[in-house]
Amino acid sequence: MTEADLYTLYKGVYVPTVIHTPESLKYFEEFKFRPDDVLIATYPKSGTTWMQEVVPLILSGGDPASVETLHNWDRVPWLEEKQALVLNLDERPSPRMLTTHFHYDMMPASFFKVKPKVIYVMRN
């Protein structure tokens, strides 16, 4: 397997091909944000999972059932990964909780029009 098989260059960033398929990247580009969406934007390995546990607790008023019934990747899915294709995100009630590792300048057009809420996690 060559490096070209392992990674895809997307908007100047190499992403793992196994979870970032052409279909999932197209879905990301065409994704329609809502004004009350909550987007967790993180650099990989900087607290993503932690935020995927904390945000549902905040939005549910601290109800632990909100984090005990679904895995975090189903509860607060990554928009750019192929799993998003099967989760019917358009049918989820508001506010939807979403995750991305993509940069600000990689966001779909609807992000800039609708301006969803963003939680940006940064570490040094």
Identify whether the C-beta of residue 36 lies closer than 8 Å to the C-beta of residue 117.
yes
Task: Tell me what percent of the chain is helix, strand and coil, each rounded to the nearest 5.
Answer: 40, 20, 40
H-helix or E-strand containing 90?
none
The SS3 call for residue 98 is: strand
Calpha distance 36→34 (Å, rounded): 5
What's the burial of 1, exposed, middle or buried (CB within 10 Å: 0-12/13-18/19+)? Answer: exposed
Active-site option among 20, 71, 101, 103: 101
User: Catalytic: 20?
Assistant: no
List, by residue number, the catalytic residues.
101
